[in-house]
Structure 1
Amino acid sequence: MIKADPSLDSNEKSLQDMLSHSSDFKATNFQSGDRMYRLFYLDTMIELEAVQEHIIRPILHQTNESTLRGSVSVLEFTETELLIDAVNAIVEGNTVLQIDGEAKFYLLGTELKKERAVNIPVNERVLRGSNEALIENVSTNINLMRKMIATPDLVVKYYRLGRRSNTKVAVLYLRDLANEEVIQEFERRIGSIDIDYIEAPGFIEELIEEKRFSLFPQLLISERPDRVRSYLMNGKIAILTDGSPDCIILPVSFWAFLQSPDDYQIGWLLGSTFRLLRIVSFIIAISLPGAYVALVTFDPRVLPFEIALTLQSSMQYVAMPPVLEAIFMLVTLEILREATVRLASPIGQTIGVVGGIVIGTVVVQSNLVSTMMVIIVAFTAIASFNIPSYEMSSAARLLSYPFILMSAIFGLIGLELSFLLVLAHLARLHTMGIPYFYSGMNKETIVDTLFRGPIRSLKNRTKESLAKDKTRIRIQKGKNK
């Protein structure tokens, strides 16, 4: 490690070399009494008024007995003798101060903070509950979480990931709830990451998950602080990344991706109904096109006679076989969805509506696909959009393709075999060493998996979090029965 030199000019040259002679690197001299001071900084990263008011002016007016720490009025004040620490501080927006003749740097916090205001969630619509969303600044996000969880048990640990990007990552958990073994396993995995840069939380997610070739998301991503709070209160771990408004939550089970914070803002009967609806929507999204292909190709006799006649009449002049119909329509739907997402909002909505109507009408009139197939694919898409998690919704849409192929080859037996393979895969998955597909039929878990039970029945925290304190609600005997 290269240490600081007592010479100001020597240190300035070293810092210039380490910063590749960047044009925004500046060095400013000023003198107070018999001492010469020099400031090193990037003028694109600091707040110049703060440097003038809180560093230069106080030093110029200090008395002989005053120390530097007692003179400057900045909250972030550290000392170092290493050049690499000074360079890292400059890149992060700090101002580095050196006194001529001293082989020491003073790192002063003067970062220019420009960020968008806290706004409503964009990707997770709020029906009831907090309308605040996480933003790209990790410090602001931690501020939101500390306001929501006002307890000294909330632990915040910082990591630096990326050899070149040096991305700031914050890990949050509640000391008295989070399982020590889960924390150690997570720290082992995040400590083993060796990469040039971290572009988004998706990088971290992919680098620490266990099954890299699984379609199912193994870590939950959310932009809602109230949702992050609820998982922290269950003993889970949250990961915030500087530059991204998304938070990674772990460990989670399969059922977490079918839950919404809004379930707990309404009565338990309505919450249970909507949760069951999402589970049914997931099953429809992965299997409905395959079931249609299997029925019309191999087993039309399973259907009632009137429905079979309707299907036969709609397919009478269709040129393509049912399996190609289904794949063609699903691919077309994905193209329309991508076009809607990538284009500007007004144009995207127009393309989605007009494109869907035009394409649906043309393909039916030209006898490329049947009217029933258009209805099946549209219903499948709507069912997939009913899943709260974008990652799980995308996985459901992709899973429909192998279901279609298996159904086209083996009929209804292929459909059943596809379900068995998916269930076996889910049963083998783990997240942070914890089983991913906890049974929803267990008496202890069913109250918060398949259903959203009454608050009084949610006495224990979720099993997959392995929380130290498993009891969530305590009701005294003889009261509130």
Structure 2
Amino acid sequence: MKPSASIEAPEQYFERMFANQSDFQSKRLVIGGIAYALYYLETMIDPSQVQDYILRPLLLRPQDAVHDVVSILDYAETEQLEEASQAVMNGKVVLHRGKESRLYLLGVDLKKERSINIPINERVLRGSNEAFIESLDTNLNLMRKLINSTEFVIKQYTLGRLSQTKIAVMYMKSIAKPEIVEELDKRLNSIDIDYVEAPGFIDELIQEKKSSLFPQMLITERPDRARAYLMEGKVVIAATGSPDIIILPVSFWSFFQSPEDYQISWMLGSLLRFLRICCFFITIALPAFYVSVSSFNPELLPSAFVHTLQSSLKYITLPPVIEALSMILLLEILREATVRLASPVAQTIGVVGGIVIGTVVVQANLVSTTMVIVAALTGLASFIIPSYEMSSAVRLLSYPAILLSSFFGLFGLVCFLMLIIIHLCRMHTMGLPYYKPPFGLSDVKDTLFRLPLWTLRKRPTGTAAGDQTRMRNPRSWKR
């Protein structure tokens, strides 16, 4: 719908459109014999900017064209009332000048955002201490500062019929595969939903394997980590209102990498990464292994250890499977309680609750001391995994492993681990294999281990279609 040259018609449209909005304001002014009308939401604009950059310049130069007078960078014109009403909802002032059919959209929105802080969930001892915040513009600014190149592309989308959430897709034009960018564009444009809660909604709506426990997209709050994956040809998605961004496509091994691996020596980084992968299997298999050896296969352990295990189980009333399930469930309850409570109280609950409950259940002969050690080691192993999504998935997988071990012993545990590997091999993300066994020399360089940087000369072939050379002569000083 196009506005009329008169002031009254657009005014009636806006007052009808925002009739139920108590913060909507419609102001009429006459400056130099010319009628003006301003439409805005007073809770969304900065009054000082309206005064300094709109009203005062108009008072000084009322006869000049609006685009020559108003000194605002976020400036646009439209002849569509629907577009103007959406601009009002976005925090802009709509200016209508009498005897003109066009409307001026002036960005004077009030910006209230928290300052850039340190990462909360991905803290490292060495490396950057900047984290994303809820403002999309600020997050894009952080990425622009880290990647000062014209090859860095940002494409913006609007998702949600009612929420009108702004989404930004970032990638390196000379590195990323065009097929991945096109596929992501198709999936984002196909989303038809009232509102978007990022990153969870986006993750679930565009992922391929809907029923898998394993995360198929990496979520991070660190700009340096996002930059590292962009340089490998991956795509990054950021959204308004979320301090977390999505990285895709990623492989299974990406969830065990940490930015700190590249800030320390390659030998120590390789050791820590291999330790995380070992903890993945410890979290899944250790409680189930305890159930199988205590109920079915004690001959797998040395005789001295078997005698110790049997003596600890001598007066225990519960069977091993109930022991394991109850202790793992108790560990989950303690973890969830410490997450939901305030930090000082959470630390007290975690320490006191763990010590008191662990001591009481052992003294009451409900759980053996060996099971308490197994549960503690399982919990610690799950916390070593850098990705919260992968850590949560691994903890859930320990329950079916315990149940299968209680029915079939070690055979059930082995079959369950084989099913997990088969499931991983069948998964794809954005058309690329999710799990590729790192048996080749090119794969093992930055998966199971982190070899020296001067050996990582090529980018991953799966995501980098353009410039695959990461470094050409990194140690040219050495003769």
TM-score for both structures, normalised by structure 2: 0.98
Structure 1 segment 453-472 matched on structure 2, within 5 A: 453-472=451-470
- Which stretch of structure 1 is more off in the superposition, 141-150 or 32-41? 32-41
Structure 1: distance between partners of 2:477 and 2:145: 31
C-alpha deviation, 1:120, in angstroms: 0.4
1:62 matched to which residue of 2? 61
Matched, 1:439 2:431: no
1:13 matched to which residue of 2? 12
Structure 2: distance between partners of 1:335 and 1:20: 48
Structure 2: distance between partners of 1:279 and 1:325: 26
Structure 2: distance between partners of 1:137 and 1:161: 16
Q: What whole-Å deviation, never above 9, does each CA across 1:59-83 have from its counterpart, x for those lacking one? A: 111163x221010010011111111
1:41 matched to which residue of 2? 40
Aligned-CA RMSD value: 1.2
Candidates 207, 210, 227, aligned match of 1:229: 227
C-alpha deviation, 1:54, in angstroms: 0.3
C-alpha deviation, 1:410, in angstroms: 1.0
C-alpha deviation, 1:476, in angstroms: 7.7
1:199 matched to which residue of 2? 197
Contact 1:251-1:464 within 8 A present in 2 as well: no
Change (3 A) 1:206 1:117: same
Candidates 351, 354, 364, aligned match of 2:352: 354
C-alpha deviation, 1:20, in angstroms: 4.1
1:138 matched to which residue of 2? 136
Contact 2:454-2:475 within 8 A present in 1 as well: no
Structure 2: distance between partners of 1:392 and 1:104: 53
Structure 1 segment 301-450 matched on structure 2, within 5 A: 301-450=299-448
Structure 1: distance between partners of 2:215 and 2:40: 42
Change (3 A) 1:193 1:343: same
Secondary structure of 2:462 counterpart: helix
Q: What whole-Å deviation, never above 9, does each CA across 1:13-54 have from its counterpart, x for those lacking one? A: 211322343010001122222210111000000000100110
Matched, 1:209 2:168: no
Contact 1:336-1:352 within 8 A present in 2 as well: yes
Structure 2: distance between partners of 1:477 and 1:93: 52
Structure 1: distance between partners of 2:478 and 2:45: 57
Structure 1: distance between partners of 2:329 and 2:430: 34
Secondary structure of 1:464 counterpart: coil
C-alpha deviation, 1:8, in angstroms: 2.1
Name the amino acid aligned to 1:167: T
Is there any run of 5+ residues in structure 1 with no aligned partner, and where? none
Contact 1:238-1:250 within 8 A present in 2 as well: yes
Name the amino acid aligned to 2:393: A
Change (3 A) 1:178 1:367: same
Contact 1:252-1:464 within 8 A present in 2 as well: no
C-alpha deviation, 1:405, in angstroms: 1.0
Q: What whole-Å deviation, never above 9, does each CA across 1:167-205 have from its counterpart, x for those lacking one? A: 011111111111100001001111111111012211100
TM-score for both structures, normalised by structure 1: 0.98
Residue-pair matches, total: 479
The share of aligned pairs that are identical, in percent, is: 54
Structure 2: distance between partners of 1:405 and 1:279: 23
Contact 1:438-1:464 within 8 A present in 2 as well: no
- Which stretch of structure 1 is more off in the superposition, 199-208 or 99-108? 99-108
- Which stretch of structure 1 is more off in the superposition, 238-247 or 26-35? 26-35
1:4 matched to which residue of 2? 3
Change (3 A) 1:41 1:475: same
2:262 matched to which residue of 1? 264
1:88 matched to which residue of 2? 86
Structure 2: distance between partners of 1:399 and 1:208: 24
Candidates 279, 282, 291, aligned match of 1:281: 279
Q: What whole-Å deviation, never above 9, does each CA across 1:99-142 have from its counterpart, x for those lacking one? A: 12322210001010110000100010121111100000000000
Contact 1:461-1:467 within 8 A present in 2 as well: no
C-alpha deviation, 1:477, in angstroms: 9.6
Q: What whole-Å deviation, never above 9, does each CA across 1:273-329 have from its counterpart, x for those lacking one? A: 100010111110111001111111101011111100011011111111111111111
Contact 1:234-1:467 within 8 A present in 2 as well: no
C-alpha deviation, 1:475, in angstroms: 1.5
1:244 matched to which residue of 2? 242
